[in-house]
Amino acid sequence: MASRPRRLIPFLAFFFRRKVLRQKQPLLASFKLTYRCNLACRACPFHLRAGEAGDHMSWATATAGLEALRRQGVLIVVFEGGEPLLWRDGSHGIGDLIAYARRRFPRVAVTTNGTQPLDVPADLLWVSIDGLPETHDRLRSRSFARVWENLCSSRHDRLFVHFTINRENRRDLRPLLDQLRKIRMFKGMTVQLFYPYGQGEAPLALDGRERREVLEAVIGMKREGRPILNSAGRLRTMIANDWRCHDDLLVNVDPDGAITRGCYVKSRGRIDCRACGFSPVAEASGALDLRPGSLWAGWSIFLS
């Protein structure tokens, strides 16, 4: 494993190219391996696309996509789904693809629903939890017990939880954080807001008042010392979504192999910037603008 100074070099070079040379190098790739999933989460539009043509990548398509990202200069690849830990093509499984990616990119992450064993060789691992047991089970196919058991038994040294805040789970965040502190390997939580794709997922979007109340509450929890890794500054700018978006930092790869540059919703739904809840893009944009909180969030998650 590379030392911290060696891991930092590609990111310093990235800032030099973007800020000094004015090159439009992307930073992060959202890499959807499959739309197939073992859950039918109410907030997710992607499992509804399982069964379509091109709903699951082959090994050849996946490796070709990774090579294309490397040529573009991407530094961070995040494998997503559907459920990426279920991905397989012939003799190749998700571990093989992670190993392939780690030889080519400084940081490789996985976002999973947590129902599979978490012995994943990625640099970072996010597990999605959407509330306390009753709420999570209602939103995510009665999966809480399996997810919690896997979190408790995981030995992954960069284990995070990702919480997508919506109208039904917004009051569960504080007590869930208190419970997560009991898990030995838990390193912290990132949050984002539910985005209304309008493609069959439940109507869970927060209205303007709820959005403000939720984000101000999250900022308060962070100030109290709870392990929320988003920066307070970006959370505050997301209340009115008046932050400057550098969506060219992001590349999207879909299960049919299509690669697009820009907003996470591009090629996946209708873009409505007023409803944006995608905190990773807000943080990446803040880091590019040299916002100290966003730079620290990036360091804490990806490089520390």
Stretch 255-272: mean pLDDT, rounded? 95
Between 208-223 and 173-180, two packed helices, what is the crossing angle to 10 degrees? 30
Overall number of domains in the chain = 1
**Res. 190: pLDDT tops 90:** yes
Between 94-102 and 59-72, two packed helices, what is the crossing angle to 10 degrees? 20
Q: Which pTM was predicted?
A: 0.96
What pLDDT was estimated at residue 304? Answer: 86
Distance CA 151, CA 183 (A): 7
pLDDT interval class at 203 (50, 70, 90): very high
**Res. 5: pLDDT tops 80:** no
What pLDDT was estimated at residue 2? Answer: 61
User: What residue ranges in 186-272 does DSSP mark as E strands?
Assistant: 186-193, 250-253, 259-261
**Res. 166: pLDDT tops 70:** yes
pLDDT interval class at 3 (50, 70, 90): low
DSSP alpha helices (H): ranges in the chain? 4-15, 59-72, 94-102, 133-139, 144-153, 173-180, 208-223, 232-240, 279-288, 292-298
* Domain interval for residue 231: 4-303
> Whole-number mean pLDDT of the chain?
96
Stretch 102-120: mean pLDDT, rounded? 97
Q: What is the CATH number of the domain that holds 115?
A: 3.20.20.70
Stretch 120-135: mean pLDDT, rounded? 98
